Structure 1
Amino acid sequence: MPQPHGFSYEQRADSVVITHHGRTAATLRGGRAEKFLAEVVSGDAQLVMARWTGAYKFGNERMARNHPRNQGGRR
């Protein structure tokens, strides 16, 4: 599975802003921001940010592409 890339975060006075390729992907405040900061320090930062923003590949994209619903009228 390819590793996520292009994420960065900025810690502000009362929040944490996560960006992906320069666009805001998530803003975390309060306890969620503290939990995120603790997790990003202890793990792979890119992977943690991908999970927290929901931009995480689950590995089922190949199977979904072959599903009849996604064939665009071809069967």
Structure 2
Amino acid sequence: MSVDKRGKLDEEFFSYSASKNGTVFLEWYGKQVKILKGKEAQKFIERIQSAADEKERQLIMAKVTGNFKRGNER
């Protein structure tokens, strides 16, 4: 069973950046949607670095951000 049946993760709409102090900023279409700090950020970086390809990285970021859309984003 495929996780991405509609092929949405091929679009690469999630991105991230990490600061020198270890904070990770997750973005969706260029808008910041989540900030990870401490152990959570460290675990995220480890998972991203061990991902096999970009599609897997997109899935990891999608799972970490969770269901952040509630109809009020612009």
The two structures have a TM-score, normalised by structure 2, of 0.67
Aligned counterparts of 2:40 and 2:8: Cα–Cα separation in 1: 24
Match of 2:42 among 31, 34, 47: 34
* Bigger Cα Rg: 1
- Equivalenced residues, count: 55
* Structure 1 counterpart of 2:28: 20
Secondary structure, aligned partner of 1:13 = coil
In structure 2, runs of 5+ residues without a counterpart are: 68-74
Deviating above 3 A after TM superposition, structure 1's stretches of 4 or more consecutive aligned residues are: none
Deviation at 1:13, TM superposition (A): 2.1
1:8 aligns with 2:20: no
Deviation at 1:38, TM superposition (A): 0.3
Deviation at 1:41, TM superposition (A): 1.1
Aligned counterparts of 2:49 and 2:59: Cα–Cα separation in 1: 12
Determine if contact 1:3/1:47 at 8 Å carries over to the other structure: no
Query: RMSD of aligned C-alpha atoms?
Result: 1.2
Q: What are the Cα deviations for residues 14-40 of structure 1, in whole angstroms up to 9, with x where unaligned?
A: 300010101011100000000000001
